[in-house]
Structure 1
Amino acid sequence: MKDVISGIVASDEASFRRFYDRYRPKIYTVALKLLGEKTLAEDVVQDTFLKVWINKESLPTIENVEAWLHRIAKNVILNMMKKAEYYKVYA
Structure 2
Amino acid sequence: VYNISKEDGANICQWEYWGGNGQKFILEPVKEIEGDVNADGALSVIDVILLQKWLLAVPDAELTDWKAADLCEDNIINVFDLHLLKRMLLEQ
Where is the helix percentage greater, Structure 1 or Structure 2?
1
With a CA cutoff of 8 Å and minimum separation of 6, indicate the structure with the bigger relative contact order. Answer: 1
Q: TM-score, normalised by structure 1?
A: 0.27
Report which of the two structures shows the higher radius of gyration computed on alpha carbons.
2
Q: TM-score, normalised by structure 2?
A: 0.27
